[in-house]
Chain A
């Protein structure tokens, strides 16, 4: 081995603490990058394979009722490769073991058995036999939530008639990879399930013999989707068409795509921070080393070592650190990626998850890390490598420094003066250290704020806006008399009706499918809320819209939108935007219920009711609701909130733990490194002070006081940075489906600050041990 290489290994061993600290930061950056992008790739691969195998449709449309003959006309639309009709309806389910009714999405299976599009994959059992009236195949998620086995029974109210269905198969469908009840963001597999049934039986139940109410299209490669959708809308319009949409607006696909986008955003936002910090740490580390070894460098040059050889030496040292970090990062990233994919697998139902290490992702992560580190090392080495050897062999003159705070310094003790001077003497390094610590705080703030955002969503949506306990929807819009019936059910304390109408809103050339909900002006069970938690009454003239709807349509309050009612007489009217309300999910619009009834020409009709109930009467009420023919779906708010929280806890807390750990690692890495470097720079000075009779505590104070000051300065900065970063995440994570409120609670800042302070204490403790072991004789003997 060459002598220079030996020096390399010995130096690495000497500064192993720093090497480890930097390597861990590098590893975190590499790991997050690999984790996000391999999980992304796994989900994409799994999705594509599933979509392919299940022939996932390109265009979707729902309508009221069209005779089968219409299907031929649809199939003839230019660009359509396959058109398949089916029946799709929601029903209230009575599942053994579940007190309240669940929502069942009933999907028909063609007489031939398997559908051509959105084919289901049988996991267990079989599909319902042709002509069987009471056999169903159940989506795996629902089956798992209720531990269904083949032969189990479920009751369903199909179009007002109660039927007992037998589970004959457990299946997966590309259409329900992410299976959420209508209007929900989070899956609730106990209370929402998809059931496949023979078409004939379903047609008979819903009075759709010789007719269909849902259509799927597969397009040719060269088809213009927008045109096909327009033609399809024309054809189904007379049959109560609800507006066709492309795959990108299909709920499961859209939410899955949103998730993939988030992973991509993650891979762009987090790793640069880690690698930036790693580069900074390497820069400081190598700079320090080069300064310490300045005279050795001079000697090497005097002996005829070329500048390149010297730069290479330090580059190799850096590469060794990077290598350790990259190796750890690859191992960690692949492990985390697999775990993350598995977690996704709990929410996204694929027949198989294809996780594998993706070579280019690993190569890119390594290359970026190497480039960042090498740039840092070169920057640090360049200065000394260029010095003439005679100069390099002399100790460096201390940096020129002006006491800018002579008045203040005059009143401090000597050790405190040394602390302040050192901060001011290396202003760039001090500020970069502060920035590094601040980024540790920011990492935690910006990743934990997701919890605050979700809590805000829950507060606004489920408590301020939705004050009901139960929401019912009826099979068909009913007259107000139904509401009176509901009021007489056991335990019902208050009832308020609502009307929901499917609409297409247009503004300029933009169009958006939406639903207007009509609410009572004096309603207390379902309110519309603004950002400051204030309830506003539904407008009699005009619409209140969600921020996402306003954004997608490009409207501000006062603008007129064209409202195409997609039910009943299908009127088109013009309504002004009355305001924008605090709604995070989807694109809803609100209006006063009677005004809405008049506008659509169906006054007095209600789609459902909100109930306030006596909790003690719950079992009796739920039992009755399961029997009432007119009730299509029952949503129990408390259960929804619980499930929402559970889902969030499951999906977010693991990630959150990681991010807090990441923040801690950054903090520890920056602080430990700074402390070690300060120690190596000042070992002689500190040892001299010890020789002169200063105590260990005083000496430690000089060393750690500087870091303590920088840390304290970094905390508020980190909170501000964290807020800005959270803002960036909100922008990046926003999808067509929802917005994320930017709220950060004090506790979140508190956690971040506490974590970084803990890291600071740990770093101080680790270095303090070295101070205590300071070898007074040894330090004074070695020459610098």
Chain B
């Protein structure tokens, strides 16, 4: 082990006092109520929590998709909440890979084209076909989203996120629609990106079985982190099943 892994390293993300209030007419929804969070480089963190507790909201803010109502997020010392839109776009383009809860594939593009959409603007991406092979879709390259099942679409979304070899990988329920065996394939792809590329990874899930593969597990409720647990050792996804 090198000295670096022993010494506490500078965190990639430092979030302080994040709140997010959605206003719709008269009603206010407090999606985040003061979240503090540090993410170390290469760390894999799992977010568990009931529906509506603010997990997606937090992930969006970390990934520069949205701005908090108050609080700061600093990425390697830069306050991303203060960045102008164009700089935020650059940030996402250079550093972040997303897997969205609702997959968000472009219906008029095939699986491989959906992945290419991202690799084309990335610095040192994988080949789109390679990324799809990683999630077990090597033989469905030229199918359109409408020709894929929900789970297959979800895997395309995962392939799209890992294909750019991101420094930060944000996955919103990447196995939500998957059975245990395919889920494992997908988690392995995420795990590989985390391990081999050192991508700092945040995975949202409802499935506590998955918790074993993470460095750290955060339980979320009502816009707060209510519990934090550190795994002594990460279990490989292959050992998980549900």
A residues contacting B by CB (< 8 A) are 2-4, 6-7, 10-11, 14, 295-296, 298-307, 388-391, 393, 778, 781-783
Interface centre among B93, B94, B106, B113 (most CB of A within 10 A): B106
- Interface: B116 (CB within 8 A): yes
- Please name all residues of chain B whose beta carbon is closer than 8 Å to the beta carbon of A393 when the two chains form the complex: 65, 100, 102, 104
Pair A304/B89 contact, Cβ less than 8 Å: yes
Q: List 23 A-B contacts (CB under 8 A).
A: A3-B114, A3-B120, A6-B109, A10-B108, A296-B106, A296-B107, A299-B106, A301-B92, A302-B104, A303-B160, A304-B90, A304-B92, A304-B96, A304-B121, A306-B86, A306-B89, A306-B93, A307-B86, A389-B65, A390-B60, A393-B65, A393-B104, A782-B146
Which residue of chain A has its CB nearest to the CB of B104? A299
Interchain CB contact under 8 A, A303 and B116: no
A297 and B109 alpha carbons, distance in the complex (Å): 14
Q: Contact residue range for chain B?
A: 20 to 34
A4 to B106, CA, bound (A): 10
Q: Are A388 and B114 in contact (CB-based, < 8 A)? A: no
Q: Is B220 part of the contact surface with A, judged by Cβ < 8 Å? A: no
Query: Is A2 within 8 A of B65, CB to CB?
Result: no
Q: How far is the CB of B65 from chain A (nearest CB, A)?
A: 4
User: Mask for B197-236, Cβ within 8 A of A = 1, else 0?
Assistant: 0000000000000000000000000000000000000000
Per-position 1/0 for B83-121, Cβ under 8 A of A: 001100110111010101010101111000110111011
| Residues of B close to A303: CB separation below 8 A | 92-93, 98, 117-118, 121, 160
Min CB gap A385→B, angstroms: 10
Q: A4-B117, A303-B118, A303-B121 are in contact. Are A11 and B65 (CB under 8 A)?
A: no
A218: min CB distance to chain B, Å: 69
Contacts A3-B117, A389-B65 known; 16 new A-B pairs at CB < 8 A:
A2-B116, A3-B120, A4-B117, A6-B109, A7-B106, A14-B108, A295-B104, A299-B104, A301-B65, A301-B92, A302-B98, A302-B104, A303-B117, A388-B67, A782-B107, A783-B102
Q: How far is the CB of A5 from chain B (nearest CB, A)?
A: 10
Query: In the complex, A7→B117 CA distance in Å?
Result: 10
What residues on B are CB-neighbors of A7 within 8 Å?
106, 108-109, 113
Determine the chain A residues whose CB is within 8 A of the CB of B121 once the complex forms. Answer: 303-305
How far is the CB of B189 from the nearest CB of chain A, in Å? Answer: 18
The answer to whether A301 and B89 have CB atoms under 8 Å apart is yes
Contacts of B86 in A (CB 8 A): 306-307
Chain A residues within an 8 Å CB radius of B89: 301, 304-307
Chain B positions 16-61 with a Cβ under 8 Å from a chain A Cβ = 60
Nearest residue (CB) in B for A11 is B108
Taking a contact as CB atoms closer than 8 A, the residue among B65, B67, B146 that contacts A302 in the complex is B65
**B residues adjacent to A (C-beta < 8 A):** 60, 63, 65-67, 85-86, 89-90, 92-94, 96, 98, 100, 102, 104, 106-109, 113-114, 116-118, 120-121, 146, 160
Partner of B93, one of A304, A307, A390: A304
**Residues of B contacting A782 with CB < 8 Å?**
107, 146
For B164, the closest partner residue in chain A by CB is: A303
User: Does A302 contact B106, Cβ atoms closer than 8 Å?
Assistant: no
| Complex Cα gap A303–B97 (Å) | 7
Contacts of B96 in A (CB 8 A): 304
Q: How far is the CA of A14 from the CA of B108 in the complex (A)?
A: 9
Complex: chain B residue closest to A295, CB-CB: B104
Chain B residue at smallest Cβ distance from A9: B108
Which residue of chain A is the closest to B63 with respect to CB atoms?
A: A302
Return chain A residues, CB-CB under 8 Å to B106.
7, 296, 299
* A305 to B116 Cα, complex, angstroms: 13
- Most chain B CB within 10 A, of A10, A296, A302, is at A302
Q: Is the CB of A388 within 8 A of B66?
A: yes
Given known A-B contacts A304-B121, A781-B146, A783-B102, A3 and B66 have beta carbons under 8 A apart: no
Return chain A residues, CB-CB under 8 Å to B66. Answer: 388-391
| A389 neighbours in B (Cβ, 8 Å) | 65-66, 92
Give CA–CA (A3, B112) in the complex, Å.
9
Q: How far is the CA of A512 from the CA of B89 in the complex (A)?
A: 73
Which listed residue, A3, A301, A778, touches B109 by the CB 8 Å rule?
A: A3
Please give me the residue from chain A that is nearest to B59 by CB atom.
Answer: A390
> Cβ of A3 and Cβ of B100 under 8 Å apart?
no
A307-B117 in contact (CB<8A): no
Please determine whether A3 and B98 come into contact, CB atoms closer than 8 angstroms.
no
Q: How far is the CA of A2 from the CA of B106 in the complex (A)?
A: 14
| Bound-state Cα–Cα, A391 to B117, Å | 21
Min CB distance, B83 to chain A, in Å? 12
Q: In the complex, are the beta carbons of B113 and A3 less than 8 A apart?
A: yes
A782 to B90, CA, bound (A): 31
- Give the residue name and chain of the A residue nearest to B122 (CB): A304
Contact between chains at B65 and A388 (CB < 8 Å): yes
Chain A residues lying within 8 Å of B67, measured Cβ to Cβ, are 388
Residue of B63, B98, B108 most packed against chain A (CB within 10 A): B108
Most buried by B among A300, A306, A390: A390
Report the minimum CB–CB distance from B116 to chain A (whole Å).
4
Q: Which residue of A lies closest to B112 (CB)?
A: A3
Most buried by A among B86, B98, B102, B104: B104
A453 to B85, CA, bound (A): 61
Q: Report how far A299 CA is from B145 CA in the complex, Å.
A: 15
A3 to B105, CA, bound (A): 12
B85/A299 in contact, CB under 8 A:
no
The chain B residue with its CB closest to the CB of A394 is B102
Kindly state the separation between the CA atoms of A25 and B109 in the bound complex, as whole angstroms. Answer: 30
How many angstroms between the C-alpha atoms of A302 and B164 in the bound complex? 13
Q: Are B108 and A298 in contact (CB under 8 A)?
A: no
Distance A3 CA – B108 CA, assembled complex (angstroms)? 10
Please measure, in the bound complex, the distance between the C-alpha atom of A134 and the C-alpha atom of B27, giving whole angstroms: 104
A10 to B106, CA, bound (A): 11
Separation of A389 and B102 alpha carbons in the complex (Å): 14
Expressed in whole angstroms, the minimum distance between the Cβ of B26 and any Cβ of chain A is: 13
A299 to B98, CA, bound (A): 10
Give the residues in chain B near A299, CB-CB below 8 Å: 100, 104, 106
Counting chain B CB atoms within 10 Å of each CB, which of A2, A296, A303 scores highest?
A303
Is B114 a contact of A390 with CB atoms below 8 Å?
A: no
Tell me whether B65 and A6 are in contact (CB under 8 A): no
The CA-CA distance from A304 to B123 in the complex, in Å, is: 12
Q: State the Cβ distance, A131 to closest chain B Cβ, in Å.
A: 86
Would you call B104 and A296 a contact (CB within 8 A)? yes
Q: Which of A4, A295, A390, A781 contacts B65 (CB 8 A)?
A: A390
Max chain B C-beta neighbours (<10 A), residue from A7, A10, A307, A389: A389
Q: Report the separation of the CA atoms of residues A781 and B150 in the bound assembly, to the nearest whole angstrom.
A: 10
Neighbouring B residues of A298 by C-beta, 8 Å: 104
CA distance A304 to B117 in the complex (A): 10
**Docked pose: A307 CA to B113 CA in angstroms:** 21
Q: Give Cα distance in the complex from A288 to B94, angstroms.
A: 31
| Residue ID in chain B nearest A296 by CB atoms | B106
**For B160, what are the chain A residues with a Cβ–Cβ distance below 8 Å?**
303
B93 and chain A: residue at smallest CB distance: A304
Question: Quick one: closest A residue to B67, CB to CB?
Answer: A388
Q: Taking CB as reference atom, which chain A residue is nearest B56? A: A390
Contact residues in B for A390 (Cβ distance below 8 Å): 60, 65-66
Inter-chain CA distance A299–B100, complex, in Å, is 9
* A295 vs B106: C-alpha distance when bound (angstroms): 9
Least Cβ–Cβ distance between B230 and chain A, in angstroms: 30
In the complex, how many angstroms separate the beta carbon of A314 from the nearest chain B beta carbon?
A: 14
